[in-house]
């Protein structure tokens, strides 16, 4: 058994027993194997290193109330990873290979899944990278598909705390016809500069408007934007340059199940001052309520003390399903044997 203080876990990398890996070579995928080392050998001219030919995903597995471990919607991550792969000319991962890899790595690291009741979970990180050499810009002829796991803690120990977001003039996350809709590694390198500026100013997250007109809300640096209007609607942007979040998709379904109307459309920046609740959503944190949004000399204020009531209901609805406390009506969980 690993010696982990489950209550002290954050969202930090730590090595586990092993990861799984398969290599694509000579036009086909090889078999999955478990690797104990947490390092990889590759050509110094690998395309992932030079030209960012790298796709990643993030999903979670949970130790449920009944003691079983369940994975949350892995097929969705499989589809999205293949959308990213297609766009940056990586070979697609056969669906069965993706699911087998996720199951195998969790199975081999069962001791690292945080116990039920700690609020923790097993974060699963699939990675698809060009490992073959190229010096001219072109797709590689060799790839590695890796799935690693990291035990992570409850993001919010105790009560959910709102954070402040900033919109920075002069920085875009994604071009109108760029790569904002896929989970390609380079998007995140491109966002580090703005996020560093924001952090120094005391803002943990950056909100991006659409790069073209700067009128509409796109999303936060690594999470989708959701709002609750004064009329009690769930509202989230429709944009070609945002990442289709599986958490957002799941929350929309939960909202509908609760009788909350769901609206997906362009959202003008000037509208959001009137929203009752605003949050960022994604796998890592589920829902992060936003206390303030600062844009130049404008300051929009929401509840700075706690999560708003509707967002809290949605948060409890999703985490309740994930930990097996609420029936899984939509068959989102895949059980580990």
Q: Annotated active-site positions, please? A: 183
Does residue 246 bind ligand PLP (CB under 6 A)?
yes
Could you give the dihedral angle defined by the CA atoms of residues 44, 45, 51 and 55, in that order, rounded to the nearest 10 degrees?
-70
Q: Are strands 286-295 and 333-335 parallel, antiparallel or unpaired?
A: unpaired
Window 213-232: contact mask with ligand PLP (x via CB under 6 A)? ------x--xxx--------
Residues 6+ apart with CB under 8 A from 191: 173, 206, 221, 222
293 DSSP β-pair partners: 165, 300
Strand (E) or helix (H) holding 124? strand 121-130
Is 158 buried (19+), middle (13-18) or exposed (0-12) by CB count in 10 A? exposed
State how far the alpha carbon of 28 is from the alpha carbons of 44, 141, 154, 260, in Å: 22, 10, 39, 46
331: helix, coil or strand? coil
- Interacting stretch for ligand PLP, rule CB under 6 A, among 64-72, 245-253, 265-273, 326-334? 245-253
Strand (E) or helix (H) holding 49? helix 47-51
- Interacting stretch for ligand PLP, rule CB under 6 A, among 20-28, 83-91, 151-159, 238-246? 238-246
Does residue 121 bind ligand PLP (CB under 6 A)?
no
Window 178-197: contact mask with ligand PLP (x via CB under 6 A)? -----x--------------
- Interacting stretch for ligand PLP, rule CB under 6 A, among 32-40, 208-216, 240-248, 305-313? 240-248
- Interacting stretch for ligand PLP, rule CB under 6 A, among 113-121, 123-131, 206-214, 244-252? 244-252
Instruction: Count residues binding ligand PLP (CB under 6 A).
Output: 13
Q: Which is nearer to ligand PLP, 132 or 221 (CB)?
A: 221
Window 29-68: contact mask with ligand PLP (x via CB under 6 A)? -----------------------------x----------
User: Tokens at residue 46, please?
Assistant: 């690998």
Window 247-266: contact mask with ligand PLP (x via CB under 6 A)? xx------------------
Q: Which is nearer to ligand PLP, 236 or 245 (CB)?
A: 245
Which residue has tokens 């969705």?
76
Which residue has tokens 């920075």?
168
Q: Are 102 and 74 in contact (CB under 8 A)?
A: yes
Residues 13, 40: Cα–Cα separation, whole Å = 16
Q: Which is nearer to ligand PLP, 195 or 222 (CB)?
A: 222
Q: How far is the CB of 222 from ligand PLP (least distance, A)?
A: 5
Q: Which is nearer to ligand PLP, 130 or 237 (CB)?
A: 237
Find the binding residues for ligand PLP in span 268-297 (CB under 6 A).
282-283
Q: Are 115 and 33 in contact (CB under 8 A)?
A: no
Task: Give the residues lining the site for ligand PLP (CB under 6 A).
Answer: 58, 183, 219, 222-224, 243, 245-248, 282-283
């Amino acid at each position: 058994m690993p010696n982990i203080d489950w209550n002290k876990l954050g969202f930090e990398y730590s090595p586990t027993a092993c990861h799984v890996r398969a290599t694509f070579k000579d036009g086909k995928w090889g078999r999955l194997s478990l690797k104990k080392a947490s390092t990889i050998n590759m050509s110094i001219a690998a395309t992932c290193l030079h030209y960012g030919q790298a796709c990643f995903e993030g999903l979670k597995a949970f130790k449920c109330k009944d003691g079983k471990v369940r994975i949350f919607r892995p097929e969705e991550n499989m589809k999205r990873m293949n959308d990213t792969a297609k766009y940056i000319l990586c070979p697609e991962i056969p669906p069965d290979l993706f699911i087998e890899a996720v199951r195998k790595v969790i199975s081999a690291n069962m001791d690292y899944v945080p116990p039920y009741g700690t609020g923790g979970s097993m974060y699963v990180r699939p990675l698809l990278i060009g490992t073959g050499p190229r010096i001219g810009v072109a797709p590689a002829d060799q790839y590695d598909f890796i799935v690693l796991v990291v035990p992570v803690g409850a993001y919010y120990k105790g009560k959910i705390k709102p954070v402040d977001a900033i919109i920075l003039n002069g920085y875009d996350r994604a071009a109108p016809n760029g790569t904002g809709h896929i989970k390609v590694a380079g998007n995140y390198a491109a966002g580090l500069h703005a996020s560093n500026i924001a952090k120094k100013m005391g803002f943990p997250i950056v909100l991006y408007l659409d790069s073209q007109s700067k009128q509409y809300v796109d999303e936060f640096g690594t999470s989708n934007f959701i709002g609750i209007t004064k009329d009690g609607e769930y509202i989230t942007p429709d944009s070609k340059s945002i990442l289709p979040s599986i958490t957002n998709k799941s929350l929309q379904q939960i909202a509908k199940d609760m009788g909350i109307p769901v609206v997906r459309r362009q959202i003008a920046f000037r509208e959001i001052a009137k929203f009752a609740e605003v949050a960022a959503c994604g796998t890592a944190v589920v829902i992060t309520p936003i206390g303030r949004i600062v844009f130049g000399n404008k300051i929009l204020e929401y509840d700075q003390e706690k999560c708003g009531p509707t967002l809290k209901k949605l948060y409890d609805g999703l985490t309740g399903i994930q930990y097996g406390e609420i029936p899984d009506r939509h068959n989102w969980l895949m059980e580990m044997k």
